[in-house]
Amino acid sequence: MRLTVLSLVIYTTIFGVLIDGYNCKIVQFIFGDSLSDVGNNNYLSKSLARASLPWYGIDFGNGMPNGRFSNGRTVADIIGDNMGLPRPPAFLDPSLTEDVILENGVNYASGGGGILNETGSYFVQRFCLYKQIELFQGTQDLIRAKIGNTEADKFFQEARYVVALGSNDFINNYLMPVYSDSWIYSDDSFVQYLMQTLREQLTLLHSLGARQLMVFGLGPMGCIPLQRVLSSSGGCQEKTNKLAQMFNTETIKVVSELSSTLPNATFKFGDAYDVVNNVIANPNNYGFSNSDSPCCSFGKIRPALTCIPASTLCKDRSKYVFWDEYHPSDSANQLIADEMIKKLGFKPINQTDNAASPSPVPAVAPSSDGN
């Protein structure tokens, strides 16, 4: 009898301690386009932007297509790994449950998606950023129902957020005459329209609890193989590159302004424009042998649009900057991620002191490439 009472007391104590010390993990919520998609579009059966066939994923896990538009990892994969954070599964992954979300976060990124609702409409199905935020609100409702509002507030405020969109707003909207945005706007007014929309979206994410958020800038997207094929000389499209630079310059301003005005916000901006531009001009200096054509291509037919099983692959995938007409290879993503880590200056999660740490020394990522 005494024993039972005792164990009851012990149980209650342990249970009490468990409830009291309930400690949610730090996870990531990722919003993005095909550069960050880890499988959402593969579940959108009508989407024309899908990485569902070989040879996508050939250098990742078991080598089968996994939804990433690359041969290997995305930039967000590499940055998250470096921070010591779990890789969040795709929102549409059927195995996603509340427990999985609490352990790993969620990735809402969708190939073809943009900051603007109208971007990428010819892919038929994709999640634009507003839609991704709407899905995140649904996720929040599930988690609140599971762990209660107080714990959920804490969970969502401690999480890390990535927002990485913008190239489709140019490549698959403004620069395409089939989209009305291309005749309505000028370069300046279009970038302003994007900034106004992005500002609203980042503010909305803050109101939903996002405090630590990274925005990724654009690379020299006028140099992707598809843009080169469309230029008469085969060179980079300078107009497109100029738009990417305008986007980056304006996004830095929006992000730093929000970071200083929204309560408790640490919003950061990182891009790898200059490094990628240098790699494209001098691939050999960075250990690459090709920076103007896709590793996965279909004979001499260009643009090949997507990588398919009948495509042929370059001999050494680690030496090509581009994997397909649009997307960087795993090794280019490593280089991009290393550069962003330097610029974003964050500490790995396991070295973060949650109590106020007065000296924010940026952790510089170990360079994976010493020559």
34 as an active site residue: the answer is yes
With CB under 6 A as the contact rule, the residue among 12, 13, 97, 117 that binds ligand NAG is 117
Lookup: tokens for 176: 């395409």
Note whether 141 binds ligand NAG by CB under 6 A: no
Q: What's the Cα-to-Cα distance from 222 to each of 228, 243, 244, rounded to whole Å?
A: 7, 9, 8
The 65-84 contact track toward ligand NAG, x by CB under 6 A, reads -------------------x
**Closer CB to ligand NAG, residue 117 or residue 312?**
117
Using alpha carbons, select from 326, 335, 337, 332 the residue that is nearest to residue 296. 326
Which of 181, 324, 330, 338 does the annotation list as catalytic? 324
Using alpha carbons, select from 131, 210, 129, 190 the residue that is nearest to residue 164. 129
Backbone angles phi, psi at 293, to 5 degrees: -135, 160
With CB under 6 A as the contact rule, the residue among 186, 207, 350, 371 that binds ligand NAG is 350
Note whether 154 binds ligand NAG by CB under 6 A: no
The 259-278 contact track toward ligand NAG, x by CB under 6 A, reads ----xx--------------
Smallest distance, Å, CB 87 to ligand NAG? 12
Which of 77, 167, 327, 329 does the annotation list as catalytic? 327
Backbone angles phi, psi at 291, to 5 degrees: -130, 15
Give every CB contact of residue 303 below 8 A, 6+ residues apart in sequence. 225, 226, 229, 230, 325
Count other Cβ atoms within 10 Å, centred on residue 231.
15
**Closer CB to ligand NAG, residue 79 or residue 90?**
79
User: By CB under 6 A, what part of segment 310-349 binds ligand NAG?
Assistant: 348
Q: Where are the beta strands (DSSP E) in the chain?
A: 28-32, 105-107, 160-164, 212-216, 266-270, 290-294, 296-297, 312-313, 320-322
206 as an active site residue: the answer is no
Note whether 138 binds ligand NAG by CB under 6 A: no
Q: Which residues bind ligand NAG (CB under 6 A)?
A: 84, 117, 130-131, 134, 263-264, 348, 350-351
- Residues classed as catalytic: 34, 324, 327
